[in-house]
Amino acid sequence: MATKRRPLHTGSKLNFRPGNSSESSTCDPKGKKPLPEPTTVRKVLLMMILHVCRKTLFFDTNLKVGIYGASLFLISLVTDVLPVPKTYFARSDNIFNQYFVKMGWGWTLLMTFPFVVLTSYTYCCGKKDKVVMHVSRLGIATFMWFFWTNLFQYIESNYGRCLSKAHFPTKAACIGKGFMWNGFDLSGHAFILIYSSLVLIEEARAINGWERMSDLIRNEGYTRDTADGSLNVNPLRSLTEREFSDLKAFYEQFTPYIHSLFIGMTCLCILWDVMLVSTMLYYHIMIEKFVSGAIAILMWFVTYRYWYALPKVYPNLPGDGLFKYTNRQQSREIPTKKKTSTPNVAKGQLPKFMGMPLYGLRNQEMKMKDGMKDEKEEQFMDEISPASSSKVSVT
């Protein structure tokens, strides 16, 4: 009759330790960092549109300024000598001139003001004094627009002559009597179109690295909840708990609106460039357009390239908040050189597609490294196993 087999080890000491819920709860498990949510088709399409907008809006700014200056001189000079075929844009009452160019600065503020408020409110973690500092750049730009356009009108109205035998010292008196006034009519359209485009480009730079901020928030949240922060190099590590929670809430709440405004700013900048070409072809003479455009470029350079770039000088450049989420040297402009099919990726840096990191490649690389590690461990165990068995046989 078969009897029940007794275990070989009857004592309490076993070759293994059974799981203990009390001990496992006291251990500090270390897991991997959380990955982002799966990408949807809608998000992929949005990233494609944003990528095209970045390529369009952040074209090499220095080169674009050179194109503005050369075009104002050459195209305007040619149109002063040779007749240009008339098109719809040659009419001063065309819809783009009446409802966009004549209210150009209003359209520029309509796009840039909410964009600056939402972005600065996010990367400044709701600090209202810093938000006001960033909004003040638009106040300075508005003063530039108001001062120079009114100065152009003053010069044109008071420094010229009336095309009549009678003497009329001002433009209003001359036109009131039915005569023509010949004055130095500096092109307000050329000034406002170039200046608006450059302001749109500079203020939109706050979106560079915006998608990276979601990774910083996710990793910092994981580090604060579970991991040891002694070796934390996240730019958000200096934020307080209140600032970090505000940043996370504002980022999730405002990002869809920021993307929409950025797309609108890109479309508006394209429209300004089209209307600038129309102004070169059909309005004013070369010297009037060239001087106006030079003043617009000079005001942009003095403010965004010199004044705002000074350290610890009010106000700061777009994107300067409580932490650094973008590299200004890399986001200054989009390089125009052709990229190779297999770009060199720095060590520890993720490859990107349309500005978005490819997490799948990182996961695949980690799996390959883990597999190589396991293979090396197996080889090491195979090498030491004969030695250990020989020791046992000798003893």
b/e per residue, 14-43, with b = 16+ CB within 10 A?
eeeeeeeeeeeeeeeeeeeeeeeeeeeeee
- 9 given a catalytic annotation: no
Phi, psi dihedral angles at 91 (to 5 degrees): -80, 130
**Quick check: 206 and 318 in contact, CB under 8 A?**
yes
**Quick check: 170 and 153 in contact, CB under 8 A?**
no
Strand partners, 335: none
Given 9, 134, 259, 284, the catalytic residue: 284
- 284 given a catalytic annotation: yes
Report the distance separating Cα 130 and Cα 19, nearest Å. Answer: 54
For 78, the 3-state DSSP assignment is helix
Question: Minimal CA–CA distance to 128: which of 3, 277, 136?
Answer: 136
Given 9, 51, 167, 189, the catalytic residue: 189
Question: Minimal CA–CA distance to 265: which of 203, 335, 332?
Answer: 203
CB-count burial class (<10 Å; 0-12, 13-18, 19+) for 269: buried
Within 10 Å of residue 324's Cβ, how many Cβ atoms? 14
> Could you give the residue numbers annotated as active site?
189, 284
